[in-house]
Amino acid sequence: MNVDYENLKTYAIKLLGERGVTLTDIANITYELQIKYYNNLTIEECLENVKQVLCKREVMFTVITGITIDKLAESGAIEEPLRSILLDDYSLYGIDEVLAYSIVNIYGSIGLTNFGYVDKVKLGKIGEIDRLGKNSGVCNTFLDDIIGAIASAAASRIAHAR
């Protein structure tokens, strides 16, 4: 099979949008992460780096896989007990974070440190997504980690470039 990565990227961005996340939302998290180190940083530079992260194959595959699992859990297509584990965002599940590492790992240890931080303080859109996922029927178990990982990876790109 031949995979068209331009189409795959468009689909990944569309899926994020369907789940209420824009690339600017992700860029805002990157900005929050890096503004303390670079006081001339702009949202535009963060957005450009988010877009570059999304050009990576691993990132497209992770976005598509994670969001698809969230959607399947909501639709009832996943059997118990996994369905309830996903819908409840059970804290010891941890596979959502493991999947997101495949994004963070591309950019080395700065990415990992940032990822741990955004996950802990639930910066910006991540907090919003996390709260939404606590509503009955909505599953954002994978989505919050994916957003945090892309934002962290973009922050690492900025750090490496400067």
Residues of the shown chain interacting with Mg ion in the complex, contacts defined by CB under 5 A: 96, 141, 144-145
Q: How far is the CB of 91 from Mg ion (least distance, A)?
A: 9
Residue whose CB is less far from Mg ion, 1 or 92: 92
Distance, in Å, from the CA atom of 32 to the CA atom of 108, rounded to the nearest integer, reads: 20
Residue whose CB is less far from Mg ion, 51 or 122: 122
Q: How far is the CB of 115 from Mg ion (least distance, A)?
A: 12
Q: How far is the CB of 145 from Mg ion (least distance, A)?
A: 4
Q: How far is the CB of 140 from Mg ion (least distance, A)?
A: 7
Cα 95 to Cα 43, 69, 78, 127: the distances in Å are 31, 11, 15, 19
Q: How far is the CB of 160 from Mg ion (least distance, A)?
A: 26
Residue whose CB is less far from Mg ion, 141 or 152: 141
Calculate ∠ Cα 93-137-60, nearest 5°.
Answer: 60
The pair of structure tokens assigned to 80 is 């118990």
Residue whose CB is less far from Mg ion, 34 or 141: 141
Q: How far apart are the first and last CA of the chain?
A: 39
| Contact predicate 118/29, CB 8 Å | yes
- Which residue's CB atom is positioned nearest to Mg ion? 96
Backbone φ, ψ for residue 57 (5° rounding): -55, -50
Residue whose CB is less far from Mg ion, 7 or 94: 94
Encoded amino acid at 62, one letter: T
Distance, in Å, from the CA atom of 23 to the CA atom of 52, rounded to the nearest integer, reads: 11
